[in-house]
Structure 1
Amino acid sequence: MAGVLDLSAPEIPDPTFLESVLRYGLFLGALFQIICILAVIIPSSKLQESDTEPFEHRSVDQTKKPKGPVPQPRQKPKKESKKKR
């Protein structure tokens, strides 16, 4: 055999501190995004289930409470027109 092939793994330099921080930061960011997505999905389904159960057990008197007058949004006072002579 005239040529010897080198089949060993190439030399990979050790990652620097900054590369390690970047790698773990990306993993933490991905984990945070997954948690946020799950937080949006899971409580909304639990909220719908818990809202229907207590509503069925309430009596009619408790659900229909007398309400006071509905507050009107502030209206600007109308400008008084000048009296015609």
Structure 2
Amino acid sequence: MAAELDFSPPEIPEPTFMENVLRYGLFFGAIFQLICVLAIILPVSKSHKTVSSFSGLTFHPVPKGPLMQLAQEKVKGKG
């Protein structure tokens, strides 16, 4: 009965081309995600000059929807 038992390792087939593409794609995707997370966490030195020369300018957002219609009616009423 002991002679009937086969303790040899099972045969593992070679990975196909698509399995290799999937494996390496997941590997590079994980590296890319780690780089993105590190870019968020780690501070970046600000060696370039900020936009302080435009500090006097103010930008107002354009109203949308019903507010835009009200603004246009006010402008028409004044003109």
TM above 0.5, yes or no, is: yes
In structure 2, C-alpha distance between the alignment counterparts of 1:77 and 1:20, rounded to whole Å = 64
TM-score (norm. length: structure 1)? 0.52
**Aligned residues: percent identity?**
54
After the TM superposition, which segments of 4 or more aligned residues of structure 1 sit over 3 Å from their partners? 70-76
* Offset, 1:72: 8.2
Gaps of 5+ in 1: 51-66, 81-85
How many residues matched? 59
The 1:71/1:27 distance shift into structure 2, 3 A limit, reads closer
* Offset, 1:3: 3.1
Alignment of 1:9 onto 2:9: yes
What does residue range 1-80 of structure 1 map to in structure 2 within 5 Å?
2-4=1-3, 5-43=5-43, 76-77=74-75, 79=77
Larger of the two Rg values belongs to structure:
1
* Offset, 1:71: 5.7
TM-score (norm. length: structure 2)? 0.55
In structure 2, C-alpha distance between the alignment counterparts of 1:38 and 1:21, rounded to whole Å = 26
Equivalent position amino acid for 1:77 in 2? V
RMSD: 3.2
